[in-house]
Amino acid sequence: MRVVRTKAELRAALAPERLPGRSVGFVPTMGALHDGHLALLAAARERCEVVVMSVFVNPTQFGPGEDLDAYPRDERRDLELAERAGVDVAYAPSADEVYPQGFSTFVEVTGDMVRVLDGDRQRRGPSHFRGVTTVVAKLFRAVGPDIAFVGQQDGQQGAISRRRARDLEFPVEIVVVPTVREESGLALSSRNAYLDAAERERAAALNRALGAAARAAEEGARSTAEALAAARAELDAAGIEPEYLEARDAEDLSAAESFDGRPVLVAVAARIGRARLIDNVVIGGLAGTARDT
């Protein structure tokens, strides 16, 4: 595996790979790798002839008072795991490399997609997604992937990524890989490292809540309000007050009031101890079938 720190080194590493027309798969990460990231790398390895992974904690997606300084970092471990997973090129730039002095251009997705759920101004706010869309656009530009692999755990970010790629005509396919979970059902996240044993046990209620919403749909609930009430009961039982628990159209994130055949994203966010955790399930089809995709 080759580790590069600059865009010039990255392009030099990939240039000979492109000549024979080999496909390039890309997995953007902020490091602190876990089995969820490894699932993305495995999917990329299966689909593509060249696999690139980035390791970059993006400062522009953190708001005031968020955990930028405390965010878990262990580059040596990340690179060891990446090499074992079959990564060909690891791109680990500095903040100055990504945002040189005088940087003043940002990429934004506008409209309701970035104003709901995490984008609500009472939560992380639209500036969070401005930071995400900008850094991913820059990474796409630097890597030039054929396929990019993202996790379903952040359903909103995935929807926004697909919209950005469509609107800006990025020649890249976005593949969403199912969420990887602990045995308890807790979605794997780098921020799980903040949880102690008791908090980890409570946090598993997030997935139970989503399961309750999915079962309500499977059992014939047509109203999303009914499914959300079932989910809320699970959170109440665990003493968790969510930042949000909402049903949204899985593609454009508009409010979904019923299960009418279009996929519905049921998303939840909650603070448990020091960790702010998110999770979701996609419920789709007239029969109310659920899928974690």
Annotated catalytic, 34?
Answer: no
CA 269/CA 277 separation, integer angstroms? 6
Query: Active-site residue among 13, 26, 37, 277?
Result: 37
What count of other Cβ atoms lies within 10 Å of the Cβ of residue 12? 12
| Strand 289-291 relative to strand 275-284, pairing | antiparallel
Residues 134 and 60: beta-carbon distance below 8 Å: yes
Question: Is the Cβ–Cβ distance between 158 and 176 less than 8 Å?
Answer: yes
- Ramachandran angles phi, psi of 243, nearest 5°: -70, -40
Longest dimension (CA), the chain: 58
Tokens of 202: 């409570």
Residue 37 in tokens: 């990231």
End-to-end C-alpha distance for the chain, whole angstroms: 30
Question: Nearest-CA neighbor of 43 among 89, 87, 81, 2?
Answer: 87
Task: Write down the residue that tokens 């409570």 correspond to.
Answer: 202
- Separation between Cα atoms, residue 252 and residue 250, nearest integer Å: 6
Helices (H), the chain: 7-18, 35-47, 75-84, 95-98, 126-143, 155-167, 197-203, 205-218, 224-237
Catalytically annotated residues: 37
